[in-house]
């Protein structure tokens, strides 16, 4: 698959301006560094903005090192598979809970993305050549949580999952069973994919778990993050080239410990504080985006969030899992909104 990246060129700045810019850029890029550390790292003087660094080479090296450290932090690729191929398409509603010091911002819609599931080519080595794959960049950071709701062609909710974004580009794969609308189970498997080849890198952590959606009506849907696969027919989620489904699910630390732990807990799929574009069926409020089945589709999350700001940004913040944990008395009213064009 091809993936074209477009950019724009800018006129060169005077050397003293570039020195100041690099000092500021290093502070922003090296998110875990203090301003003092970043400035020292670039070896520039803050006493006089017209003091230049020793050479253009030093500037170039500084920028390259900073980019190498975390240029792809929080980015991820998303693929969706169904071994039995009973679905032609699935819509993935992708939203973001941005991490703050002790909370998450409430969900913000990135978009609804239609994936083509049929038409995969099984290669000689048993692996599948994917027809549809999306990559998400910009406006994403390590520790943010991405939320993914899956819908069939009849706009029935057939799955839900969440993932912690990682310190480098991540490969996220969701696997559906043969009858997802009846089963409601999704297998989530992901990890760091630094070279962006679509595969989890060797000698890195792999997170592998199951979630199950239940509920008698659209607005009352809820999801449980399972601790094991004991109640799951794991053969429906086995794909050549991917690890064997685990007996005990593997989650990131924040999913198992602390205020935002979700393992063995049941949460609302459509909580009452969510924006209208997140609770409405696909196509009702915002247009569904077709993911290319020939190239890797790349989307800038920050731009899409801004595009859908009027209908896709939920108010408030999430202070703990209890904020959206399912309670039998909880009732969620479906919101309506004006359809917003892509």
Average pLDDT over residues 309-322: 94
Percent of the residues in the chain that have a pLDDT greater than 70, as a whole number:
71
Cβ 77 vs Cβ 171: under 8 Å: yes
Closest-CA residue to 113 (of 98, 138, 132, 88): 132
pLDDT at 130: 53
Q: How far apart are the C-alpha atoms of 185 and 152, rounded to whole Å?
A: 13
Alpha-carbon distances, residue 133 vs 130, 257, 312, 323, 324 (angstroms): 7, 32, 23, 33, 30
pLDDT tops 90 at residue 202: yes
Q: How far apart are the C-alpha atoms of 285 and 300, rounded to whole Å?
A: 20
Average pLDDT over residues 121-150: 79
C-alpha 312: how far from chain center: 16
Mean pLDDT, the chain, as a whole number? 80
Determine which of 112-126, 175-189, 191-205 has the lowest per-residue pLDDT on average: 112-126
Cβ 165 vs Cβ 143: under 8 Å: yes
pLDDT at 216: 79
pLDDT at 133: 85
C-alpha 259: how far from chain center: 21
Determine which of 38-42, 110-114, 235-239, 244-248 has the lowest per-residue pLDDT on average: 38-42
pLDDT tops 60 at residue 124: no
Determine which of 51-60, 106-115, 230-239 has the lowest per-residue pLDDT on average: 51-60
Q: How far apart are the C-alpha atoms of 138 and 301, rounded to whole Å?
A: 6
Average pLDDT over residues 19-41: 42
Across 2-11, 120-129, 331-340, the highest mean pLDDT is recorded for 120-129
Average pLDDT over residues 239-251: 93
Is pLDDT larger for residue 134 or for residue 70? Answer: 134
Average pLDDT over residues 182-198: 93
Q: How far apart are the C-alpha atoms of 110 and 318, rounded to whole Å?
A: 18
Average pLDDT over residues 299-315: 97
Average pLDDT over residues 34-41: 43
Alpha-carbon distances, residue 326 vs 162, 213, 245 (angstroms): 16, 12, 27
Is pLDDT larger for residue 129 or for residue 216? Answer: 216
Name the band, by pLDDT with cuts 50, 70 and 90, for residue 32.
Answer: very low
Average pLDDT over residues 254-280: 95
Q: How far apart are the C-alpha atoms of 128 and 239, rounded to whole Å?
A: 8
Average pLDDT over residues 248-255: 97
pLDDT tops 80 at residue 241: yes
pLDDT at 178: 87
Determine which of 87-91, 103-107, 214-218, 325-329 has the lowest per-residue pLDDT on average: 325-329
Determine which of 61-65, 133-137, 239-243 has the lowest per-residue pLDDT on average: 61-65
Determine which of 3-17, 49-63, 83-97, 223-237 has the lowest per-residue pLDDT on average: 3-17
């Amino acid at each position: 698959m091809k993936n074209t990246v477009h950019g724009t060129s800018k006129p060169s700045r005077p050397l003293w301006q570039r020195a100041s810019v690099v000092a500021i850029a290093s502070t922003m890029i090296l998110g875990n560094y203090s301003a003092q550390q970043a400035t020292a790292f670039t070896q520039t003087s803050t006493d006089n903005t017209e003091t230049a660094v020793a050479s253009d080479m030093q500037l170039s090296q500084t920028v390259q090192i900073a980019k190498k450290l975390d240029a792809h932090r929080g980015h991820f690729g998303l693929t969706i598979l169904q071994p039995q191929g009973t679905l032609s398409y699935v819509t993935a509603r992708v939203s973001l809970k941005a991490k703050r010091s002790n909370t998450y911002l409430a969900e913000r819609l990135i978009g609804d993305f239609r994936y083509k599931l049929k038409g995969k080519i099984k290669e000689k080595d048993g692996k599948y050549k994917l027809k549809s794959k999306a990559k998400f960049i910009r406006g994403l950071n390590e520790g943010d949580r991405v939320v993914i709701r899956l819908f069939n062609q009849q706009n029935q909710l057939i799955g839900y999952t969440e993932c912690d974004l990682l310190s480098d580009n991540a490969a996220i794969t969701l696997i559906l069973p043969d009858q997802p609308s009846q089963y409601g189970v999704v297998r989530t498997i992901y990890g760091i994919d630094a070279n962006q080849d679509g595969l989890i890198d060797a000698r890195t952590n792999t997170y592998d778990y199951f979630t199950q959606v239940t509920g008698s009506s659209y607005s009352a849907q809820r999801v449980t993050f399972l601790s094991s696969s004991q109640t799951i027919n794991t053969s429906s989620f086995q794909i050549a080239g991917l690890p064997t489904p685990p007996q005990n699910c593997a989650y990131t630390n924040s999913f198992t410990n602390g205020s935002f732990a979700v393992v063995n807990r049941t949460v609302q799929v459509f909580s009452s504080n969510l924006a209208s574009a997140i609770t409405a069926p696909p196509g009702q409020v915002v247009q569904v985006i077709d993911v290319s089945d020939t190239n890797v589709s790349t989307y800038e999350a920050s731009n899409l969030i801004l595009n859908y700001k009027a209908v896709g940004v939920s108010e408030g913040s999430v202070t703990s899992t209890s904020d959206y944990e399912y309670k039998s008395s909880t009732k969620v009213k479906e919101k309506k909104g004006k359809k917003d064009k892509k």
